[in-house]
């Protein structure tokens, strides 16, 4: 008699919960290096200079997803990220920082005189894992909702900053994906991730 395949979703959820409440993964030096390369990637664009993307620490050579968010005088100035790890974390931060500064179509490109006043905030993502709607915890998890060719992501801090509850967070992630707000109840795939978030003001 064969047994049904084991559902590992609870195991993945438990591991992610444990990781989320553990000590920070990146120490002060690693954070400083990542924030520095983000600023350098932006500044170098004005002079058409290449940036050395050789990771200075083994930890920063690991492939990781990450988002770079830029603020100018406390107002959002750009945000771009990669969900799926494709390159080293060091390179990913540099590329998303430059893209946030110059390619986020919601904003005009960052001007040279603005660059010294930019605040960089980095969100380093865990791998995605399946999650049930009732397991979503505001402030702890970011969400990815996908269905067909539609996919939307919201970082953990977005729900906190807007004061959303669990239902609103699910609905807004569906909206971000270009889906009906109730798609999470109608077969859309729900995945979550944790994010270690730090910025210039944390140093």
**Is 0.85 surpassed by the pTM of this model?**
no
Structurally, at CATH architecture level, domain 128-194 sits in 2-Layer Sandwich (3.30)
Judging by beta carbons within 10 Å of its beta carbon (0-12, 13-18, 19+), is residue 171 exposed, middle or buried? buried
In contact, 31 and 202? CB cutoff 8 Å: yes
The whole-angstrom separation of Cα 131 and Cα 10 is: 8
What confidence tens digit (pLDDT) does each residue in 176-190 have? 999 999 999 999 999
In contact, 117 and 72? CB cutoff 8 Å: yes
What confidence tens digit (pLDDT) does each residue in 16-50 have? 444 444 578 999 999 999 999 999 999 999 999 99
Q: For the chain, which residues make up each domain, given as ranges?
A: 28-125, 128-194
What confidence tens digit (pLDDT) does each residue in 69-112 have? 999 999 999 999 999 899 999 999 999 999 999 999 999 999 99
- Residue 3: predicted pLDDT: 32
Nearest alpha-carbon partner for 159 in 138, 179, 186, 185: 138
The whole-angstrom separation of Cα 68 and Cα 83 is: 12
Q: Does domain 28-125 have CATH number 3.30.70.20?
A: no
3-state secondary structure the chain: CCCCCCCCHHHHHHHHHHHHCCCCCCCHHHHHHHHHHHHHHHHHHHCCCCCCCCCCCHHHHCECCEEEEEEECCEEEEEEEECCCCCEHHHHHHHHHHHHHHCCCCCCCCCCCCHHHEEEEEEEECCCEECCHHHCCCCCCEEEEEECCEEEEECHHHHHHHCCCHHHHHHHHHHHCCCCCCHHHCCCEEEEECEEEEEHHHC
Cβ of 5: how many Cβ atoms within 10 Å? Answer: 6
What confidence tens digit (pLDDT) does each residue in 147-176 have? 999 999 999 999 999 999 999 999 999 999
Q: Give me the percent of the chain exceeding a pLDDT of 70.
A: 89
């Amino acid at each position: 008699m064969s047994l049904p395949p084991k559902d590992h979703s609870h195991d993945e959820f438990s591991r992610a919960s444990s990781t989320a409440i553990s000590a920070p993964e990146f120490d002060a030096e690693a954070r400083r290096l990542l924030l520095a390369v983000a600023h350098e990637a932006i500044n170098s664009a004005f002079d058409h200079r290449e940036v050395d993307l050789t990771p200075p620490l083994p930890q920063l050579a690991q492939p990781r997803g990450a988002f770079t968010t830029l603020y100018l005088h406390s107002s959002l100035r750009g945000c771009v990220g990669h969900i799926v790890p494709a390159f080293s974390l060091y390179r990913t931060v540099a590329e998303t920082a430059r893209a946030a500064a110059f390619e986020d179509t919601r904003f005009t490109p960052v001007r040279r005189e603005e660059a010294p006043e930019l605040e960089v905030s980095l969100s380093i993502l865990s791998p995605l894992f399946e999650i049930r709607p009732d397991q979503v915890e505001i402030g702890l998890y970011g969400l990815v909702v996908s269905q067909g060719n539609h996919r939307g992501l919201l970082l953990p801090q977005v729900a906190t900053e807007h004061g959303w509850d669990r239902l609103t967070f699910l609905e807004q992630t569906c909206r971000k994906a270009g889906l009906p707000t109730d798609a999470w109840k109608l077969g859309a795939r729900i995945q979550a991730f944790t994010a270690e978030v730090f910025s210039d003001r944390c140093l």
